[in-house]
Amino acid sequence: MRRTRVAEHVVLALGGLGLGAAGCAGLAGPLAGLSAGQDDRGPWWMRQTAMSRDGSLDLRSKPWWPRAMQLGVGERFMIEENGLAGGNMLVRRERIRNRSKEVEALVWVIDDDTDGSLRTGGDEDSDCYVADYGCDGVPDRMVDYIDDDGDGTADEMDIRYYAGGRLDYCWFARDFDGDGCMWSVRGYEYGGPSFFEADPYGDNMIYMNKFNPVEGTWSPISECPFAFYDTDGDGYSEVVVRFSAVPLGYDPGVHPDYANNQFSGSWDPGMARMGVVNIRYSFDIDNLSGKETPLHYDCGFNLVGAVPYEFAGMWQVNSRRRPPQATCVVPYDQVRSVSDRYAARETGFSWHEQHDDTIAIGYGERQKDDWRWEGVFWIWERRFMENTGGPCQRWNVRREWSSRPSNRRALYYSGVDGRIHLFGAEEGWIQRGHFAGLGNLGEIRMYDTDGNGYFDRWEVYDGQGPVPVRVSTVGDEKVRRVPFDEQWLRRFYLEEVVPQATAGSVMLLEAMGEVHPWAMPAGLADATRGGPPGFRRYALDVACELHYQSLRRSLSVVAGRVLAGARMDDLRSLKPDQRAATANSQTGWQLVRSLERLDAAWGRGDLASVKAAIAELKRSPLLGRTEAGGKAEQ
């Protein structure tokens, strides 16, 4: 188990520099720490990168700038100054590739902790890198590593983005698990060959703030935060939460995905009144998030609302940060509790049931996967939910939607379909297919027709037409409310839900095979035998439904042919047992009734009655006749 270091790394600095670490809970604004333009109150390294109140920084004003302009690619020099600055800064010219292009850049490196790191070009614990793309004296990026406890490993990290030489926004990162991993950097901005450019493993948090050039302070914006939680101490996260921070007055009709697309550019006065308008909250329920299958999230909530960005402790100050020193983010240890009680106007719930062979939304060395570091979240289809982001998966992900306002995350278990559902969802769907070499297998739609919060109607489509091939409406939803507790849900899912559903499907397949042999596609057969337990269960569910549809269609055709060919004046002298053993309108109708009882039991999820109905089918004298079978006996 890795060492866990869950601390907020914040310091108070009322009216000047902070000298110790303490929380800033209860601050109504950035009342502590230095704001932009106050860099001259700080140590030598802070004064070197001093900017104006509006966030402007001009490298051309530096005494070393003329010399920097003479550098060729690969050349460097140490900056000569009095005091600690002397020998602890260098400038070099590089050819770099950032996320968008290859460019020459002048890079100013400052050894904040004067540990001699410039001998090797700088380190990643207490050094700062200012990058000037194009070598025009206008800074474009600043990457700043902050070692709060002096152990030689960075605890926080800033990646500041400038526009026209003025500070625009910043990606912040905090490392709570002590491994020193936060942002992966390429070209002095986030990027690189990592699974994800940040560290989505263990206990970590990243967040964005927008620079307010009027006040010289930070404001929450975009993904603020993205927080990852390693709940079992194995180094891999089992919970991930993402807040979308946008102006409360924004228009989703104009900017439907504001959090992902509108964080750069000019400061808008509306940004002074920010809110949390979307929360994505995902979990690893099958307990497979680990080395072999990292980021293996099963289910997630997508919550839409309009809660003001006002939380205790959100202003957190670090005296080792270049101004502005107070950043704004929900504290790491409060993110989940805020999510648990978030006042959602509407809620989406998603459950990742199987792979989707039509997409590859992984990253880096696992780019062919459809697992994402963001968790499992909503899709831009059917029910529009603003700021949900992307990319995400269409096939084999169950979607459930509720328009009911709610400030609690509530779930229930349905004994009808053997699944965990969102309480209050009035509709849902899952498009099935495109895994294990299969094509479109259709869709299942779910509805709450009486408004009691539970699904009571299921429509099954085969992918061939707009009309369902099976419809089931139940009077008893056979529900069980379950606690919204990650550990409890994991035990319940792995020890009860999946084993019971798997055993039931195996029994049904065997029983149906005795009545109506069916050739399972090879890829589907493989999927029923391998992979995670939840995936196997889903494959067995699909196999059962396909087998059932084939059985029902085949025997319905047989019964129909018998009824169509029967004589209306069939008054032959037959004893009851003889009449029951021949093909006639009575035995044809009995087959129809047996199929009806099977269909009703199947729709209720009543396995005992399903098994009894199949046994009844086995006694039919028409069993064994094919759809193109012989003419009915007269």
Say how far apart CA 594 and CA 615 lie, in whole Å: 10
> Residue 41 has which token pair?
């109150």
**What's the mean pLDDT in 305-317?**
96
Given the DSSP bridges, would you call strands 222-229 and 185-186 parallel, antiparallel or unpaired? unpaired
- Within a domain: residue 337? yes
- Within a domain: residue 588? no
Say how far apart CA 447 and CA 477 lie, in whole Å: 12
**393-428 b/e with 16+ CB inside 10 Å = b?**
bebbbbbbbbebebeebbbbbbbbbbbbbbbbbbbb
Q: Which residue type occupies 597?
A: R
Residue ranges of E strands in 98-165 = 102-111, 127-133, 141-146, 156-163
**121-148 b/e with 16+ CB inside 10 Å = b?**
ebbbbbbbbbbbbebebbbbbbbbbbbb
Does residue 591 have a pLDDT over 80? Answer: yes
- Within a domain: residue 529? no
Does residue 89 have a pLDDT over 50? Answer: yes
> Residue 615 has which token pair?
């046994």
**pLDDT category of residue 4 using cuts at 50, 70 and 90:** very low
pLDDT in tens, 138-175: 999 999 999 999 999 999 999 999 999 999 999 999 99
Distances (CA, A) of 237 to 205, 393, 495, 619: 11, 20, 22, 54
* Residues in a beta bridge with 427: 401, 447
* Residues in a beta bridge with 133: 105
pLDDT at position 568 is 66
215 is in which domain, residue-wise? 39-57+139-409
What is the Cα 301 distance to its own chain's centre? 9
- Within a domain: residue 429? no
- Number of residues assigned to the chain: 634
With contact defined as beta carbons under 8 Å apart, do 418 and 540 qualify?
no
- Within a domain: residue 28? no
Does residue 629 have a pLDDT over 50? Answer: no
Say how far apart CA 306 and CA 171 lie, in whole Å: 23
- Within a domain: residue 122? no
* Residues in CB range of 628: below 8 A, 6 or more apart: none
* Residues in a beta bridge with 413: 420, 480
With contact defined as beta carbons under 8 Å apart, do 171 and 159 qualify?
yes
With contact defined as beta carbons under 8 Å apart, do 277 and 244 qualify?
yes
- Within a domain: residue 259? yes
With contact defined as beta carbons under 8 Å apart, do 125 and 145 qualify?
yes
pLDDT in tens, 27-76: 445 668 999 999 999 999 999 999 999 999 999 999 999 999 999 999 99
| Complete DSSP assignment for 263-286 | SSSS--GGGGSEEEEEEEEEE--S
Cis, bond preceding 66 (omega within 30 deg of 0): no
Which is higher by pLDDT, 424 or 184?
Answer: 424
* Residues in CB range of 366: below 8 A, 6 or more apart: 195, 294
**pLDDT category of residue 10 using cuts at 50, 70 and 90:** very low
Does residue 570 have a pLDDT over 60? Answer: yes
pLDDT at position 293 is 85
* Total tally of structural domains belonging to the chain: 1
- Within a domain: residue 244? yes
Taking every pair of C-alpha atoms in the chain, what is the biggest distance, in angstroms?
121
pLDDT at position 277 is 97
Full-model pTM:
0.91
Q: Which residue type occupies 266?
A: S
